C-alpha cells in the first residue's frame, strides 16, 4: 500500500526519482498548482492538454519531460537526457497514488 503524501512531499519524491531529474511540478487534475515552480506550469498544462494518455514521455532538445495523471492529480518531471523512462514513470505513478491516498 502507498503512504499518503502532501503535494510538497510528492514534489520532493519526484525530484529524487533519478539523478537526472531537474524539477517537478504537481497539479490538480484541472491544472491548479499544488507544488513546484510556477514558471513550469504553462508548459506542463500544454503537455497534459495535448494528450489524454495516463502517462507520457516527450524528448526535447534539452532533455526529457515525463508526465502522468491520476483521478485527481497530475505531475510533470523535467529531466536531463539519460533518465530511464521505466523507473521515472513508475515513480510518477507511485507518487500520484500517494496523493490520491491523502484524499481518501
pLDDT, average across residues 65-76? 96
Are residues 75 and 91 in contact, defined by beta-carbon separation less than 8 angstroms?
A: no
> pLDDT grade, residue 1 (50/70/90)?
very low
The percentage of residues in the chain with a pLDDT greater than 90, rounded to a whole number, is 81
Tens-place pLDDT, residues 58-67? 999 989 999 9
* Cα–Cα distance for residue pair 57/20, rounded to 1 Å: 14
* Cα–Cα distance for residue pair 16/18, rounded to 1 Å: 6
* Cα–Cα distance for residue pair 71/65, rounded to 1 Å: 21
- Note the Cα 53 to chain centre separation in Å: 14
pTM reported for the whole predicted model: 0.91
> pLDDT grade, residue 4 (50/70/90)?
confident
Q: At which residue does the C-alpha cell 502517462 appear?
A: 55
Tens-place pLDDT, residues 36-69? 999 999 999 999 999 989 999 999 998 999 999 9
> pLDDT grade, residue 2 (50/70/90)?
low
Are residues 18 and 81 in contact, defined by beta-carbon separation less than 8 angstroms?
A: no
pLDDT, average across residues 10-22? 92
Task: Answer positive or negative: Cα dihedral of 56, 43, 81, 75.
Answer: negative
Q: Write down the pLDDT at residue 79.
A: 96
Are residues 48 and 74 in contact, defined by beta-carbon separation less than 8 angstroms?
A: yes
All residues at 6 or more sequence positions from 62 whose CB lies less than 8 Å from its CB, including other chains: none
Amino acid at each position: 500500500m502507498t503512504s499518503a503524501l502532501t503535494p510538497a512531499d510528492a514534489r520532493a519524491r519526484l525530484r529524487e526519482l533519478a539523478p537526472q531529474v531537474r524539477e517537478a511540478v504537481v497539479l490538480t487534475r484541472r491544472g491548479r498548482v499544488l507544488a513546484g515552480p510556477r514558471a513550469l506550469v504553462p508548459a506542463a498544462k500544454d503537455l497534459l492538454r495535448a494528450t489524454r494518455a495516463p502517462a507520457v514521455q516527450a524528448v526535447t532538445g534539452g532533455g526529457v519531460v515525463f508526465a502522468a495523471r491520476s483521478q485527481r492529480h497530475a505531475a510533470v518531471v523535467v529531466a536531463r537526457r539519460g533518465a530511464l523512462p521505466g523507473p521515472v514513470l513508475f515513480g510518477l505513478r507511485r507518487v500520484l497514488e500517494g496523493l490520491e491516498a491523502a484524499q481518501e
